[in-house]
């Protein structure tokens, strides 16, 4: 096979035509990001009303349900071993619910996502 010469004028023109810069410059990207972050900050500060986080409600409901089940086991069971087993299981499930809720809130940052926003001055459209 013969020697292939890829440095001809035509090859240089083809390479120049194929090369495109579809990505915007880094400075433009940074300026747009900064503007979006600023707008988001201003929008949060302009919100009238109050925001109540409800991340703890599943944990509290879990504790209440298993506390009532444990109390029912103590009141209704005559066998002390069955009572101890039921109370231990209910305590374990209540503690597991607390741990799962705390881990979920920390890993997924749910404090801001699970919130009820109460606006002052009625409904705004």
Q: What is the pLDDT of residues 9-39, one digit of tens each?
A: 767 766 776 776 677 677 877 888 888 888 8
- Would 112 be classed as within a structural domain? yes
Is residue 72 within 8 A of residue 83, CB to CB? The reply is no
- Would 86 be classed as within a structural domain? yes
pLDDT band at 5 (very low <50, low <70, confident <90, very high): low
Domain residues for the domain of 19 are: 9-118
- Would 123 be classed as within a structural domain? no
Name the packing angle between helices 80-108 and 57-76 (round to 10°): 180
Residues 49-78: pLDDT tens digits? 777 788 889 899 999 999 999 999 999 999
Which of 125, 118, 114 has the alpha carbon at shortest distance from 48? 118
- Sign, CA torsion 29/32/36/42: positive
Distance CA 63, CA 31 (A): 48
Give the count of domains, the chain: 1
- Would 2 be classed as within a structural domain? no
């Amino acid at each position: 096979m013969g020697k292939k010469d890829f440095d001809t004028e035509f090859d240089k023109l083809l390479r120049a035509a194929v090369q495109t810069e579809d990505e915007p410059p880094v400075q433009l990207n940074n300026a747009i990001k900064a503007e979006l972050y600023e707008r988001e900050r201003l929008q949060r500060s302009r919100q009238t009303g109050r925001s109540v986080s409800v991340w703890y409600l599943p944990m509290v409901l879990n504790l209440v349900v298993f506390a009532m089940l444990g109390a029912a086991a103590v009141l209704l069971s005559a066998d002390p071993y069955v009572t101890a087993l039921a109370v231990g299981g209910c305590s374990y499930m209540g503690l597991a619910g607390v741990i799962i809720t705390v881990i979920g809130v920390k890993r997924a940052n749910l404090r801001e996502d699970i919130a009820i926003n109460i606006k002052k001055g009625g409904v705004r459209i």
